[in-house]
Structure 1
Amino acid sequence: MCAAGRRWGRRQRVLLWGVLLAAWEAAWGQLRYSVPEEMPKGSFVGDVAKDLGLQLPALSDRGVRVVTEGTRQHFALHGKTGHLVTAERIDREQLCESVEQCVLHCELIVEGEMKFYEIEVEITDINDNAPSFREAEKDLRLSETTAPGSRFSLAEAHDPDSGQNSLQSYELSGDEHFSLAVQTGPGGDQRPELVLAKAMDREEAAFHELVLRASDGGDPSRTGTARIRVTVLDANDNAPVFSQAEYTVRVPEDVPVGSVLVTVTATDADEGLNGHVKYSFQRISHSASQLFYLDSETGEITVKKDLDFEESSSYELEVQAWDGGELSDTAKVVITVTDVNDNVPKISVRSALNEISEDAPSGTVVALLHVQDRDSGANGEVRCSLDGGIPFRLESSQGSYYRVVTARELDREQESEYNVTVRAADGGQPALQS
């Protein structure tokens, strides 16, 4: 069977599994589906109408619609079939960087019945990315007196795919003077190191050309390469040494752009070019590289874009100090971002009645509301209330939902119209409200 046929077969099995699981979970008011990334707009996700027992002719009359928190709508409801379909082509790596399981959430609102159903859609990975190096070429300058067995850190490849489709192995090609060792980091990541297998002689060879290849485990496998050029120099017998192995810093998310968060320092006992220390990021995620800048001369790490606690509360970086002879040392930098109350509670009216009969019984639902605050802790705890003097009350529903219901029987002849104001306030100091 060809590769395209195998991929089609796998996608069909994934979709069938998602439909069976959704049918099992529908009784609990929650549906779960699974769909591969990069499917065209309008691709089938799940038969929502069938799984929830909704009749197709009544879908439009009941005001059934799909809503998603945020500005982008990833899914839509096909009115004629009752199918949940993709509203756009979904890139898993763009939505869920560094997340093993990518799950998107949306809600199905049935306005006519004042009901809602939670829907989870897992976006599964396909091997649409090849491993790549931040630097396609690397220059190393090593002393000819470097002892065999010496190791030198190499830049890691990055593959945004997950699971078997992500980076799996490295291999080195070049000459007999060098070999490759791969260490396993604390998080299970693979860290390539160049090992000097045989003593160098500058008079014999002043340069060595090597190729580092990174491969993923997809079918077929994708690869990326980086070229390594080793220049053989005279002796440099002292490596830079950082003043501490780990630097930690805590900063509020509203720290001004341009602020210095921490300064890393390393010293080298050599003189001249061999003792001049420069700094660079040895290991940094793509998102962190957009936020932090490292001065290669001073070791200052500064903020170059606004931080957002809700996007990420912690960053772990690895900084390298290297001298003119390419001897180096590494240190870890941990930046913890603390929350400030910078998000106002958001009230969304999911469904509402414009009129109600005066003989409606007490407890009749007139509006379905959803309240959200992206802050954490007390800053994200929301309390809702109604302005007094009106015959309505709030009832807390599932999750962050509230219902506005009648508190007693109404009398049109006494009052024919009410304006209902809902206020939401968070627990910050001072509190934010809407």
Structure 2
Amino acid sequence: RRERALLWGVLVAAWEAAWGQLRYSVAEEMPKGSFVGDVAKDLGLDLPALRDRGVQLMQEGEGQYFALNMNTGHLFVNERIDREEICGRKSDCVLKLEILLQGQMKIYKVAVQVTDINDNTPAFQLSEFVLKTSETASKGSRYLLPSAQDPDIEQNTVQTYALSDNKHFYLDVQTGPDGSKFTELVLAKALDREEAAFHELVLRASDGGEPARTGTARIRVAVLDANDNAPVFSQAEYTVRVPEDVPVGSRLLTVNATDADDGINSEITYTFRKITSKASQLFNLDPKTGELIIRSNLNYEENESYELEIQAQDGAGLSTRGKILVCIDDTNDNVPEITVSSSVTDIAEGEPAGTVVALLRVRDRDSGENGEVSVSLPEGLPFRLEKSFEDYYRVVTSRELDREEVSEYNVTVRAADGGSPALWSSAVLALRVLDVNDNAPVFAEARYSARLPENNAAGALVLRVRAADADWGQNARVRDISNSARQLFSLDSRTGEVTVRGPLDYEERKYYEATVEAKDGGGLSAHAKVHIDILDLNDNVPTL
């Protein structure tokens, strides 16, 4: 518990805002389920809120290296993490995560530093190789030896070389300007082919891990007749720049080395002396001509440059080393990617301007102008874009929406890069505007009038009133039409027909006035006036 508390203190102290809100550290090859960090505590989120708000953990790349326990709020290792496979020889190996709280439309960024462990043994490209030298070689003659490869970094990579005990050779280890170590076999005692035609040596490479790992290679020194000149490259370092879309099979450059000797001693063979497995899949060096050929497609987004160590060896075994630096230029070969991280499909009319309807992530894997993306919405729509965080955008309303004006929107988000010609992509957000009861019924006429002869039959149709509502669904349904003269007249709330309940008498009353009311499903109402004139009939006998 004390060690875990100490580790927790270190992790908390390592938080920084350079990339995101949280930063943790975990060693590679930790078992599945290993604790990484308490996300809920570090973000100040209570566990019920974490579960109820809908949390999504998004990770870049194909691997799903981490998972989030919704019950504890802990971030833990979800699958095997191999630092060398993910980051190669980069000293700073960081996996970037994003935690989306969908209920709040909030993004939290998490950076997990993957630290190296000593899980790789130094290895030579060949377990056994032959070195040829002349019996007339003088003391101090040097022979370049192959370097061991160890994918680990810093102290865990190759630190020391050692040579098996012998009386003719010793080992000289040198460090290049870039910090890499290379070894040379140095002749300490003159050779005599008649005494020994071969010398068997063992070269050991050890890393600095605890415990250290060691790899070996067997060296067979073949003693030949004199070859007193080693090849010499025309340049110590060759540099070439190529676009990433250079066709497979293209010749990038030709290296050239010369040897002052004659015959077989001047015949030069070109090989890669030190090359990564990835680079070996991309480049081929012709052993006779020295031409560097593209074997498969380059990708600037995977690697911007490759450093290739080469070797020129003459027919008698003397060699020299050189270097090729291949710099890759970016081309506009990636379309901007639009990811809808969160969105709503329904929004009530009348919501205030600035209401968030979608959260988008827009990015382009190209660099420079090719990776600069502009995002836009069609003109004339009541929506606008707001940049919320790095490559995240929010789509928000620019004014209140009115369902009676437009009931549905298909909003096209367009992302275009700065390349020439520009590449673009789009995504469509479908949004339905929900109705609220913001419209009262409206009568077709503010005042209705009719004429009815007296002595009419009960149930006679007097007139028909009509009301409509601009809303939708229950809010648009006129549920009730009533009148204020219910004793004499009936009003059908469904059809709007006004009928008389019984016969009317002109001599008793010459006209009637009433008020009718229409009410929708949301309780809003409207009124209209009704005027009915009674027509006189000759239904009375004169009296004296």
TM interval, shorter chain, is over 0.9
Which structure 2 residues correspond to residues 193-272 of structure 1 after superposition, within 5 A?
A: 193-272=184-263
Residue identity matched to 1:132: A
Percent of residue pairs bearing the same amino acid type: 64
Q: Which whole-Å deviations, capped at 9, do the CAs of 1:302-323 have from their partners, x for residues lacking one?
A: 1111101111111122221111
SS at match of 2:370: helix
Q: CA shift at 1:40, angstroms?
A: 2.0
- Return the alpha-carbon distance in structure 1 between the equivalents of residues 176 and 410 of structure 2: 60
Judge conservation of contact 2:135–2:223 (CA < 8 Å) in 1.
yes
- Return the alpha-carbon distance in structure 1 between the equivalents of residues 324 and 19 of structure 2: 45
Judge conservation of contact 2:19–2:111 (CA < 8 Å) in 1.
no
Judge conservation of contact 1:365–1:405 (CA < 8 Å) in 2.
yes
SS at match of 1:20: helix
* Number of equivalenced pairs: 425
Judge conservation of contact 2:231–2:312 (CA < 8 Å) in 1.
yes
Which structure 2 residues correspond to residues 35-50 of structure 1 after superposition, within 5 A?
A: 35-50=26-41
Residue identity matched to 1:129: N
Residue identity matched to 1:194: L
Whether 1:169 and 2:197 are equivalent positions in the alignment is: no
Q: Which whole-Å deviations, capped at 9, do the CAs of 1:111-140 have from their partners, x for residues lacking one?
A: 100100000000111111111111111200
Q: Equivalent residue for 2:421?
A: 430
Q: Quick check: 347-356 or 114-123, which moved more?
A: 347-356
Residue identity matched to 2:198: F
Task: State which of 283, 286, 294 in structure 2 corresponds to 1:292.
Answer: 283
Residue identity matched to 2:279: A
Whether 1:132 and 2:123 are equivalent positions in the alignment is: yes
Task: State which of 60, 64, 74 in structure 2 corresponds to 1:73.
Answer: 64
- Return the alpha-carbon distance in structure 2 between the equivalents of residues 164 and 136 of structure 1: 24
Judge conservation of contact 1:21–1:33 (CA < 8 Å) in 2.
no
Q: CA shift at 1:27, angstroms?
A: 13
Structure ranking higher in helix proportion: 1
Which structure 2 residues correspond to residues 108-127 of structure 1 after superposition, within 5 A?
A: 108-127=99-118
Whether 1:16 and 2:8 are equivalent positions in the alignment is: yes
- Return the alpha-carbon distance in structure 2 between the equivalents of residues 374 and 141 of structure 1: 49
Gaps of 5+ in 2: 426-544
Q: Equivalent residue for 1:52?
A: 43
Residue identity matched to 2:45: L
Q: Equivalent residue for 1:4?
A: none
Judge conservation of contact 2:20–2:111 (CA < 8 Å) in 1.
no
Q: Equivalent residue for 1:3?
A: none
Higher Cα Rg: structure 1 or 2? 2
SS at match of 1:270: coil
Q: Equivalent residue for 2:403?
A: 412
Cα 1:28/1:238, change in 2 over 3 Å: closer
Q: CA shift at 1:17, angstroms?
A: 4.5
Q: Equivalent residue for 1:105?
A: 96
Q: Equivalent residue for 1:88?
A: 79
TM-score, normalised to structure 1's length?
A: 0.94
- Return the alpha-carbon distance in structure 2 between the equivalents of residues 428 and 238 of structure 1: 52
Whether 1:389 and 2:375 are equivalent positions in the alignment is: no
Q: Equivalent residue for 1:62?
A: 53
Task: State which of 283, 290, 294 in structure 2 corresponds to 1:303.
Answer: 294
SS at match of 2:279: helix
Whether 1:182 and 2:182 are equivalent positions in the alignment is: no
Q: CA shift at 1:238, angstroms?
A: 2.5
Judge conservation of contact 1:18–1:46 (CA < 8 Å) in 2.
no
Cα 1:417/1:18, change in 2 over 3 Å: farther
SS at match of 1:290: helix
- Return the alpha-carbon distance in structure 1 between the equivalents of residues 188 and 273 of structure 2: 23
Judge conservation of contact 2:349–2:400 (CA < 8 Å) in 1.
yes
SS at match of 2:278: helix
Q: Equivalent residue for 1:159?
A: 150
Q: CA shift at 1:18, angstroms?
A: 5.2
- Return the alpha-carbon distance in structure 2 between the equivalents of residues 44 and 289 of structure 1: 38
Task: State which of 5, 11, 21 in structure 2 corresponds to 1:30.
Answer: 21
SS at match of 1:421: strand
Q: CA shift at 1:396, angstroms?
A: 1.3
- Return the alpha-carbon distance in structure 2 between the equivalents of residues 142 and 162 of structure 1: 35
Q: Which whole-Å deviations, capped at 9, do the CAs of 1:75-134 have from their partners, x for residues lacking one?
A: 211121111112211001100111012110010000100100000000111111111111
Cα 1:253/1:62, change in 2 over 3 Å: same
Q: CA shift at 1:278, angstroms?
A: 0.6
TM-score, normalised to structure 2's length?
A: 0.75
Q: Equivalent residue for 2:328?
A: 337
Q: Quick check: 147-156 or 280-289, which moved more?
A: 280-289
- Return the alpha-carbon distance in structure 2 between the equivalents of residues 17 and 61 of structure 1: 29
Q: Equivalent residue for 2:472?
A: none
- Return the alpha-carbon distance in structure 1 between the equivalents of residues 288 and 302 of structure 2: 30
- Return the alpha-carbon distance in structure 2 between the equivalents of residues 191 and 270 of structure 1: 26
SS at match of 1:16: helix
Residue identity matched to 1:305: S
Cα 1:147/1:17, change in 2 over 3 Å: farther
Q: Equivalent residue for 2:370?
A: 379
Residue identity matched to 1:138: F
Gaps of 5+ in 1: 1-7
SS at match of 2:410: coil
Residue identity matched to 2:81: I
Task: State which of 289, 304, 318 in structure 2 corresponds to 1:327.
Answer: 318
